[in-house]
Structure 1
Amino acid sequence: MSLPQHDPAAPAVPRAVEDYLHDARHVAVFTTLRPDGTLHAAPVRFTWEAASGLARVLTVASSRKARNLLAAPGGRAALCQVDGFAWATLEGTATVVTDPARIERGVRLYAKRYWSAPPAPADRVVIEIAVDRVLSLNL
């Protein structure tokens, strides 16, 4: 499977928001819907790639967030990064990906952002969020 390329439909993101989304000290709250329709929110480290319009979260296939998305293919998800009264939210369609090349891309981007390699569990997957909405305040 090929790696994501530039997506002309990716939302335009102001430079201040881009800078904020690449700040390594931040984590985000990742929100998905459980099969019963209730919200599941979890703190995560993530990466944002503006050219492809993809946000990525590394996790394991057995995690609640991955199971929520596998139970409802094409489901929506949101990542919200907060620092005081400044915040940015990335929303879009999320997909659980098992392709080794795409997982490796997620690992490389994670290591670049957080200055260390992520854990390497045997059942690692990457959740790719095709971002179609970016919201922010005070950036």
Structure 2
Amino acid sequence: MPTHLATLTTLTADGRPHTVPVAPVLDPENGTVRILASRRSRKVRNVIASTDVAWASVCQVDGRRWCTVEGTTRVLTDHESVRDAEEVYAQRFRVPRPNLDRVVLFITVQHAMGSLS
């Protein structure tokens, strides 16, 4: 199990927040976050169903330290993007279990905030 879990919040069709635990991989150089997900998960369906720009936020807490990133989100389904996300996930956490329905939630960070103390 990953040790650096965070929460991901997406919006449902009626605007309610949907928050779930995830194991995100941040790429600070490119300002992106990748999250492995199943194609049928609610979080993926929320992003796909967005009639406007799909926004999401990822929040992580460690004692008194916390950080939140917010950004536009899209679902990547192509084999190369999924394979690349699986590789960086494996480097950060562990090799992910096989999942033929795997996709990637790809967040382009627009805003970040947090505390170091």
Give the TM-score taking structure 2 as reference length.
0.93
Counterpart residue number, 1:119: 97
Q: Does 1:36 align with 2:34?
A: no
Deviations along 1:65-90, one digit per CA (max 9) or x if unpaired, are 00000001521000001011110111
- Structure 2 CA distance, aligned partners of 1:120 and 1:133? 33
Percent identity, aligned pairs only, is 37
Alignment of 1:1-139 (within 5 A): 25-72=3-50, 74-114=53-93, 116-139=94-117
How many correspondences in the alignment? 115
Deviations along 1:36-84, one digit per CA (max 9) or x if unpaired, are 1101000001100112211011001100000000001521000001011
Aligned residue type for 2:45: R
- Cα displacement (A) at 1:25: 2.5
3-state SS in 2 of match to 1:26: coil
Q: CA RMSD in A?
A: 1.2
Give the TM-score taking structure 1 as reference length.
0.79
- Structure 2 CA distance, aligned partners of 1:119 and 1:33? 27
**Runs of at least 5 residues in structure 1 that lack an aligned partner in the other structure:** 1-23
**Runs of at least 5 residues in structure 2 that lack an aligned partner in the other structure:** none
- Cα displacement (A) at 1:138: 2.5
Deviations along 1:93-118, one digit per CA (max 9) or x if unpaired, are 0001101111111101100001x211
